[in-house]
Chain A
Amino acid sequence: AQKVTQAQTEISVVEKEDVTLDCVYETRDTTYYLFWYKQPPSGELVFLIRRNSFDEQNEISGRYSWNFQKSTSSFNFTITASQVVDSAVYFCALSEAGDYKLSFGAGTTVTVRA
């Protein structure tokens, strides 16, 4: 069975600091997909990124960047120069090809203080 671990429960930073969220996953499948979602206080889960198991390229999108390392089964997420609007719960998730189920980590609450 797949499993996603987000060891950091809460992170609090001051605006403009960088923050890195850790995600470690377990799966026996060779084909799988990793996701990050953002859930602001309003409740909607906002899709941020999807990575498949065959693509280890790191990705940058504005202030967001992702580091995928199969060797350590990690898919970490960094917010550069954080802003108050980045305050939210961030979920890492994993799905395996052939299975509709999306396994979520416990989530990391990020609070950015002005």
Chain B
Amino acid sequence: DTEVTQTPKHLVMGMTNKKSLKCEQHMGHRAMYWYKQKAKKPPELMFVYSYEKLSINESVPSRFSPECPNSSLLNLHLHALQPEDSALYLCASSQGRTPGTDTQYFGPGTRLTVL
């Protein structure tokens, strides 16, 4: 089973709202990722968690706040977003034993619209 689940599938929020995106995997993977994808562009890495610790933050604005409560869950907390943050947010996971050597499996994404 190579399933990564994400909720919600769609999210519309105002610039003053606080919302959270959730990601879950039960493959025993120890690395989890958040990507942002704008239309007609490849995914852009935002954060990487390895063994529940933040390993990479690609200079993401602080209005995006990641959280990894346990090895199966990854959250992305959103606050005071801008309309340009509207995008598809993809979660991925990989075995994580040796960085860069294993396959990242992606979830279906959350399509976020900021009004």
Instruction: Give A residues with C-beta under 8 Å from B.
Output: 32-33, 35, 37, 42-47, 50, 52, 91, 95-102, 104-107
Asked whether, in the complex, the Cβ of B100 is within 8 Å of the Cβ of A33, the reply is yes
Residues of chain B contacted by A46 (CB below 8 angstroms): 106
Asked whether, in the complex, the Cβ of A107 is within 8 Å of the Cβ of B101, the reply is no
**Other-chain residue from B33, B42, B92 in contact with A106 (beta carbon distance below 8 A):** B42
Residues of chain A contacted by B41 (CB below 8 angstroms): 106-107
Residue count of chain B within 8 Å CB distance of chain A: 27
Q: Assuming A44-B107, A47-B105, A96-B100, is B43 touching A104 (CB within 8 A)?
A: yes
Complex interface: stretch among B48-56, B59-67, B77-85: B48-56
Bound Cα distance A54, B106 (Å) = 25
- Pick 29 A–B contacts, CB within 8 A, sort by A: A37-B106, A42-B108, A43-B108, A43-B109, A43-B111, A44-B106, A45-B43, A45-B90, A47-B2, A47-B103, A47-B104, A47-B105, A97-B99, A97-B100, A97-B101, A98-B100, A99-B100, A100-B31, A100-B33, A100-B50, A100-B56, A100-B100, A101-B56, A102-B45, A105-B42, A106-B41, A106-B42, A107-B40, A107-B42
Asked whether, in the complex, the Cβ of B101 is within 8 Å of the Cβ of A33, the reply is yes
Could you list 15 further interchain pairs (A-B, Cβ under 8 angstroms) beyond the known A33-B100, A50-B103, A107-B40?
A42-B108, A43-B111, A44-B107, A44-B108, A44-B109, A45-B90, A47-B2, A47-B105, A97-B101, A98-B100, A99-B99, A100-B33, A100-B48, A106-B42, A107-B41
The 8 closest A-B pairs by CB, nearest first: A104-B42, A45-B106, A95-B100, A44-B108, A99-B100, A43-B109, A100-B99, A100-B48
Q: Give the residue name and chain of the A residue nearest to B6 (CB).
A: A44
Asked whether, in the complex, the Cβ of B104 is within 8 Å of the Cβ of A102, the reply is yes
Residues of chain B contacted by A35 (CB below 8 angstroms): 103
